[in-house]
Amino acid sequence: MVFKIGFLKLGCIGSALLLEFMLDERAERQDLDVRVVGAGAKLGVEQAEEVARRLLEFKPQLVVVTSPNATLPGPKKAREVVKAAGIPTLVVSDSPGKKASQELEQQGFGYIIVEADSMIGARREFLDPQEMVLFNLDVTRVLAITGALNLLTIEIDRVIDAIKKGLEVTLPRIVVDKEKAIKAASFSNPYAASKAIAAYETARRVADVTVEACFVVKEWERYTQLVSAGHEMMRQAARLADDARETEKSQDAVFRMPHYDDGSILGKRRLIEKPAKP
Amino acid sequence: MVFKIGFLKLGCIGSALLLEFMLDERAERQDLDVRVVGAGAKLGVEQAEEVARRLLEFKPQLVVVTSPNATLPGPKKAREVVKAAGIPTLVVSDSPGKKASQELEQQGFGYIIVEADSMIGARREFLDPQEMVLFNLDVTRVLAITGALNLLTIEIDRVIDAIKKGLEVTLPRIVVDKEKAIKAASFSNPYAASKAIAAYETARRVADVTVEACFVVKEWERYTQLVSAGHEMMRQAARLADDARETEKSQDAVFRMPHYDDGSILGKRRLIEKPAKP
Amino acid sequence: MVFKIGFLKLGCIGSALLLEFMLDERAERQDLDVRVVGAGAKLGVEQAEEVARRLLEFKPQLVVVTSPNATLPGPKKAREVVKAAGIPTLVVSDSPGKKASQELEQQGFGYIIVEADSMIGARREFLDPQEMVLFNLDVTRVLAITGALNLLTIEIDRVIDAIKKGLEVTLPRIVVDKEKAIKAASFSNPYAASKAIAAYETARRVADVTVEACFVVKEWERYTQLVSAGHEMMRQAARLADDARETEKSQDAVFRMPHYDDGSILGKRRLIEKPAKP
Amino acid sequence: MVFKIGFLKLGCIGSALLLEFMLDERAERQDLDVRVVGAGAKLGVEQAEEVARRLLEFKPQLVVVTSPNATLPGPKKAREVVKAAGIPTLVVSDSPGKKASQELEQQGFGYIIVEADSMIGARREFLDPQEMVLFNLDVTRVLAITGALNLLTIEIDRVIDAIKKGLEVTLPRIVVDKEKAIKAASFSNPYAASKAIAAYETARRVADVTVEACFVVKEWERYTQLVSAGHEMMRQAARLADDARETEKSQDAVFRMPHYDDGSILGKRRLIEKPAKP
Amino acid sequence: MVFKIGFLKLGCIGSALLLEFMLDERAERQDLDVRVVGAGAKLGVEQAEEVARRLLEFKPQLVVVTSPNATLPGPKKAREVVKAAGIPTLVVSDSPGKKASQELEQQGFGYIIVEADSMIGARREFLDPQEMVLFNLDVTRVLAITGALNLLTIEIDRVIDAIKKGLEVTLPRIVVDKEKAIKAASFSNPYAASKAIAAYETARRVADVTVEACFVVKEWERYTQLVSAGHEMMRQAARLADDARETEKSQDAVFRMPHYDDGSILGKRRLIEKPAKP
Amino acid sequence: MVFKIGFLKLGCIGSALLLEFMLDERAERQDLDVRVVGAGAKLGVEQAEEVARRLLEFKPQLVVVTSPNATLPGPKKAREVVKAAGIPTLVVSDSPGKKASQELEQQGFGYIIVEADSMIGARREFLDPQEMVLFNLDVTRVLAITGALNLLTIEIDRVIDAIKKGLEVTLPRIVVDKEKAIKAASFSNPYAASKAIAAYETARRVADVTVEACFVVKEWERYTQLVSAGHEMMRQAARLADDARETEKSQDAVFRMPHYDDGSILGKRRLIEKPAKP
């Protein structure tokens, strides 16, 4: 039997960018069928509701709702629609979503809040399509290498596995901080881990700069300078994350966790080595 | 009136990763409503058809079908379903899609084939979720900086504009090669352009290595080594593309094309400068 | 007449490391005599008092007291001893010193608090003499290139000049944040400024990691990992600051402010150009 | 009982910049009290004498006199004043100090001459406070990573230990060349050692350029170009030294020698490992 | 007895640049005498013939003819002259030489065709002496680090050894592709090998760009841009090759194959280790 | 009429590696015919004499004798044979050749001594064919970018031109130091020039390390470490030279001096610009 998972994407966050592909990175899983529905950059209530209804037509057994700031009305509406259909729902969001965590738990949602998934520098004088793409690539690189995306994948796979096996489902409720992320990355070299933590923290602090530039500073010369600084900070975090991975390569110690066809997760450390069940 | 555009995503290509967000990079456009429907990594006929039907419920005025290798049955089915509904359809795909270009034109589809959007190294001994993410970030970085994604955005905006104005719609039929991409990037420094062309060509040639490793070489030690080499090649292309952009920054000459609220495209060259209509 | 300035150094902060030399970078000023007295790494009350008394013997006309965390008893004692002698006193300290700013103002002290001058990762499993040196070089590099040290020099020179001329002395009371620092750096290229701001913010946030690792986390494996991460973060900030300066070099636009023999500050932008009075 | 050590600093050399902190890098030593007295950038006889007298009031058991060019009258006067008080005196200086080595030995002084501690490019058209700081950071980085500063610390600790124990004191008389420095750095990877030696030699040769530019060349365009070249050379040496340390990190083999509270020197090689007495 | 080998060099290819020195890298071999004759950049029939006759006066026992494009009349004439003298002849050339491989074999020549030895961007608007030198350094760096030059040396040494021992001589007939090259490089770290393969493939594809720019594109602005791009691509390949070697250094695992005085090839892996016969 | 120039190459120096190609970088000169004769790595008297006689058969109008250390008997014999034939002779050599300069002048030879063309680390434990190649690429890169090779080309072209025109021939007698080299490089950005000077000086000082390691130090562990350090120093010099050129690229200001078909030297600064006669 094939498990049906639905992704409901509102707006753009690094944690969601390639999430559906991470569950089936070589399109070889025979136990999984995936649907994604989204409304692009907008995350209004109207779009959220329509998108949610569309996703339900697919009859998913698990829904992952991704959005920036899970406290906004749009994401809220989306998850309520899904919940009303009785489907286990996992919310993936960024730091402002932390404020919703208690409410989410009370309402039975799972959540994974990724602290380093910082807000983009959304000012017209600065942000054009290309700059938007580059920022998202940088933040996603940080999330991938530091282990945050590993953690997301592992947790979603865990829930899928439980539902498949008819076990009781415990939805994850995690705020991904630097230490939780790094643990999921399974670094071999501790300096690689240090660089990854540093990248994670730097990425996390980008939001301080972009939020100030987008919502506090009014003079356009100042906020343009600041959003640009925020993106430089994220670019530097991405480069540091890259250094971490290169350090692992230099010792032939990159940890890999490919999926097997049945959805189980294998593991390997040396490049020229067959992956094995743990 | 708001224009409705639908993205039908089958599988993962760099050109499609952030495409819907590029049309509305700050979520401020009042003239556009976007829907995205996808089936994750899989691109079988069944998924394609269901996804296409779901997208039609949104009643889009333009549909963009993205997939690797547009000659495959899944992508073909998807666009046929959309076409049967009488909706203008643009196919976005990678180099193997070139083989379908004549057929696409005859059937009235537009297409944008992005040569440098090379295939990933999809071997289980190598490709895990993290490696998959990193490759896609690298290829998308190359496509973004070299101008290929600019070209995509400009062309889609052009079609939207024509339909909005009730003009005759000419769907683009473009194979994006190094020179077409670079032109859309509007580099100021010619060495930046040289680096970008070099990055584009390097990225384009990654497919030679990954295709050989995925479909020709049978010994697992050899193909594992080769897919890894293909990803190193893409990583290096991404770094070279990054050098190109840094060169432009060093002269304060990064060209930016933010959208205005009405969907028109502004332009600017200096960082501390207001964007203007061209 | 020669102006006599005294530096009282308690403990080690990046802002103080080369401060006395910044006032007379080529040892050519004929209007200035400098004395420095310090107690090394310790900043206890006893050392502070003795050191302060020793400095007074020099009969300075202005005293600069540098220390981490200006709220500690040692630094407090030192400045009280100096104040009791009726000498204008400027406190230079790091972020924890902000808590003392109101008190300092009420008591008539000037102060310059440098936000990015973050605490070192002082754990025995990690910090040896070499690591201590390297961290201080990194933080000082950030402070130098981002303009924070320029601001310190300019302000101290301003006070000296006022006292020399018998004008009323307004001691500076400044919390150096990213924008104040960058302004003092006079960058020509705005992306250089963006990189510098990013470096400053990254450096500022190092303290969050090192403070947690030094005072909150108890397990030695965890805090060792975290202090190491804090230092990687500072190293990356220093490299980004260095990129900012290299960007200025690439346009032959490094701003230089050498002192003239009489203590006035000259200015120049091109490398092969004579400095001039502004 | 607490040992009292005094540092008498005349002018600025990389070897002296953080020397007092290297003896007590976490401010935890209970066996040591430190005093530093200096006169800033100037090293005239008058300043030297006054500073020396001030330091004697502290009643140090060992005095370290640091200065560029130990043959100059200022440094000479300083050490004579200290010697007249019967206190063991160690001279720390740069290459021009080699000429004084025989005389220093005959007069009973210890000395450590650090060859790579090259002269700065002290020309007004080039050297402003910021450039001065950056050069000193670069040279100190080279000295730290290549082991020269380790050697200084070890030797001073050795003398302190001997005096504390009432043993006969043998003051060090060492010209720190590339091989003596590298030995003190205890590199694990021989290519790291090669890079460090290369950095040391490059740093040492900077003086040839800066001395020529400061004392031989008269045309300002030429000497401005040359002092700038000297600083680029030092910057490159610092980057190479940094590569050496990164190489050690990539094998998790950075050697660390933290002080224990009683002043003894511990050792460790892996990051996540407790330091131990050798 | 001393073996006499002659190199006949027509035009410039990276494979030939230092080839004669690779056989006797420290000028200590007592079993070998080398002569090189060439005609500089030109490779016309007239020069080729004269140069060949000159080389025969040396009475070599083996001749290596190096040139771009071994199908051209000049290189053809040169090898015919040598063959007529009954001397075993090895042709070393670049990819266009592949077309001659069958003919070469039939005529009894050995050949080594190095795929990555790509054509330079020979357009007057771009290629001056300095640019020509830099391209050749980059391509030779790729060939050296990826193992292609190792393979050349090993094969020539093998032929020399056979002739010296009076054994039957089998001239090599090899098209050096990425996997043959990398095998000869004996990498220890598989990621180093991946980077080297990536560098080799990138270098090989440079010819696509330079050939198009030199022979297909007619507009000077376009071909100038393209030859520049080709050189950037080669520079990036060289940097990636350099990364591969640095990776090996970081594990102290650079494989070295120095010649012994009698011409035999030794081997070693650690830097501080004596080379040994295999 | 075509001018005939002969290159007599003894041993390997960076200045000679591509010298004959620099005179005719695109093989398009109609006024020049080149012959090169060499004896590989060896530079004994016997080889030198034979090679010289062979070159004379070509009847060159100018001979360039290249070798390390022009004071050795082999190079001396070679130039005497050429001189006896009445042909103007230019000696190109490295720093040890400086000792022969007076004698060379008295005997009517021209000479160009390139200071930065430092000796290789010729120890069997370290130097294998690959390492030999890489060192030569690094030193040649330094010589190319810093302008030393420009100077060689310009001077040889000047002599050719004079002989072609029947003018009196003044052979160059130049010791290429840092300032002469940089002048020939025509840098636009003064920081690029600073980096180039720094690279030149670093390269020049490599010989101090390699000479010590090859001729002074006897313990194999020590000299192996030192020759490796010498090569790291040269590698770093090459990277710094590369930075200099990249700086010029970042301002689109690389100066190019392509030859015209008649051998005259053109000039240009912008990439997309036609070269012109000066």
- Eight-class DSSP state of B1: -
Give me the mean pLDDT over the F144-172 stretch: 97
The pLDDT of residue C115: 98
The pLDDT of residue F75: 97
Structure tokens at B150: 């600019």
User: Model confidence over B113-167: pLDDT tens digits?
Assistant: 999 999 999 999 999 999 999 999 999 999 999 999 999 999 999 999 999 999 9
Size of interface D-E (CB pairs under 8 A): 19
Measured distance CA(C118)–CA(A239) in Å, rounded: 22
- On chain C, the residues whose CB falls within 8 A of the CB of B272 are 190
Phi, psi of D9 (to 5 degrees): -110, 120
Alpha helices in chain A (DSSP H): 19-22, 45-56, 73-84, 101-106, 129-146, 148-164, 178-185, 190-211, 220-250
C-alpha distance from C225 to closest chain B C-alpha (Å): 23
Interface contact E229-B202, CB threshold 8 A? no
pLDDT at F221 over 90: yes
pLDDT at F1 over 80: no
Shortest CA distance to F10 belongs to which of F46, F60, F61? F46
The SS3 assignment for C41 reads: coil
Interface contact F257-E133, CB threshold 8 A? no
pLDDT at A278 over 90: no
pLDDT at D1 over 90: no
Interface contact F271-B190, CB threshold 8 A? yes
The pLDDT of residue D179: 98
Structure tokens at C125: 């499993």
Structure tokens at A8: 């409901």
The CA-based dihedral angle spanning residues A235, A240, A246, A250, taken in that order and rounded to the nearest 10 degrees: 160
Give me the mean pLDDT over the F52-81 stretch: 97
F192-E12-F76 Cα angle (round to 5): 85
> What is the torsional sign of CA D39, D48, C12, A205?
positive
pLDDT at A191 over 90: yes
Structure tokens at F219: 């313990």
F and C: touch, per 3+ CB pairs < 8 A?
yes
**Neighbour subunits, E (≥3 Cβ pairs < 8 A):** A, B, D, F
Shortest CA distance to E40 belongs to which of F264, F78, F38, F56? F38
- On chain C, the residues whose CB falls within 8 A of the CB of F191 are 249-250, 252, 254, 271
Would you place residue F278 in the very low, low, confident or very high pLDDT band (cuts 50, 70, 90)? confident
Give me the mean pLDDT over the F47-57 stretch: 95
pLDDT at E1 over 80: no
What share of chain A has pLDDT > 70, as a percent?
Answer: 100
Give me the mean pLDDT over the A23-46 stretch: 96
- On chain D, the residues whose CB falls within 8 A of the CB of A249 are none
Complete edge-to-edge strand list for the sheet that includes strand B62-66: A173-176, A110-114, A89-94, A62-66, A3-9, A32-38, B32-38, B3-9, B62-66, B89-94, B110-114, B173-176
Measured distance CA(A147)–CA(A186) in Å, rounded: 8
Q: How far is CA F132 from the centre of its chain?
A: 17
User: Model confidence over B216-266: pLDDT tens digits?
Assistant: 999 999 999 999 999 999 999 999 999 999 999 999 999 999 999 999 999
C-alpha distance from F81 to closest chain E C-alpha (Å): 18
Measured distance CA(A50)–CA(B177) in Å, rounded: 38
- On chain E, the residues whose CB falls within 8 A of the CB of F260 are 124
Interface contact F191-C270, CB threshold 8 A? no
Phi-psi label, residue D47: left if phi above 0, alpha if psi -120 to 50, beta otherwise: alpha
User: Model confidence over E197-253: pLDDT tens digits?
Assistant: 999 999 999 999 999 999 999 999 999 999 999 999 999 999 999 999 999 999 999
ipTM above 0.85 for this complex? yes
User: Model confidence over D230-250: pLDDT tens digits?
Assistant: 999 999 999 999 999 999 999
B and C: touch, per 3+ CB pairs < 8 A?
yes
The pLDDT of residue B1: 77
CB contact at 8 A, B42 and B72: no
Strands (E), chain B: 3-9, 32-38, 62-66, 89-94, 110-114, 173-176
- On chain F, the residues whose CB falls within 8 A of the CB of E221 are 272
CB contact at 8 A, C45 and C179: no
Measured distance CA(D65)–CA(D82) in Å, rounded: 9
CB contact at 8 A, F269 and D273: no
Measured distance CA(F64)–CA(F117) in Å, rounded: 17
pLDDT mean across residues, chain B: 97
pLDDT at F266 over 90: yes
Among B190, B231, B240, whose Cβ lies nearest the Cβ of E225?
Answer: B190
Positions of chain C with pLDDT under 70: none
Structure tokens at E91: 């042709």
- On chain A, the residues whose CB falls within 8 A of the CB of E251 are 250-251
Interface contact F229-D205, CB threshold 8 A? no
- On chain D, the residues whose CB falls within 8 A of the CB of C7 are 40
pLDDT at F240 over 80: yes
Query: Is the whole-model pTM more than 0.90?
Result: yes
Measured distance CA(F45)–CA(E175) in Å, rounded: 39
Nearest-CA residue of chain F relative to C248? F191
Q: How many CA atoms lie within 13 A of A102 on its CB side?
A: 1
CB contact at 8 A, B255 and B267: yes
CB contact at 8 A, F137 and E141: yes
Shortest CA distance to A258 belongs to which of A268, A270, A272? A268
B and E: touch, per 3+ CB pairs < 8 A?
yes
The CA-based dihedral angle spanning residues E223, E225, E226, E227, taken in that order and rounded to the nearest 10 degrees: 90
C-alpha distance from D2 to closest chain E C-alpha (Å): 44
The pLDDT of residue C1: 78
- Residue predicted with more confidence, D113 or F1: D113
CB atoms within 10 A of CB C186: 17
User: Model confidence over B63-85: pLDDT tens digits?
Assistant: 999 999 999 999 999 999 999 99
DSSP of chain F: --EEEEEEE-S--GGGTTHHHHTTTTS--SSEEEEEEE-TT---HHHHHHHHHHHHTT--SEEEEE-S-TTSHHHHHHHHHHHHTT--EEEEEEGGGGGGHHHHHHTT-EEEEETT-PPP---TTT--HHHHHHHHHHHHHHHHHHTHHHHHHHHHHHHHHHHHTTPPP---EEEE-HHHHHHHHT-SSHHHHHHHHHHHHHHHHHHHHHHIIIII---HHHHHHHHHHHHHHHHHHHHHHHHHHHHHHHTT---B-PBPTTS-B-BB-SSSS--B--
Query: What kind and span of H or E run contains E72?
Result: none
User: Model confidence over A122-156: pLDDT tens digits?
Assistant: 999 999 999 999 999 999 999 999 999 999 999 99
User: Model confidence over F162-203: pLDDT tens digits?
Assistant: 999 999 999 999 999 999 999 999 999 999 999 999 999 999
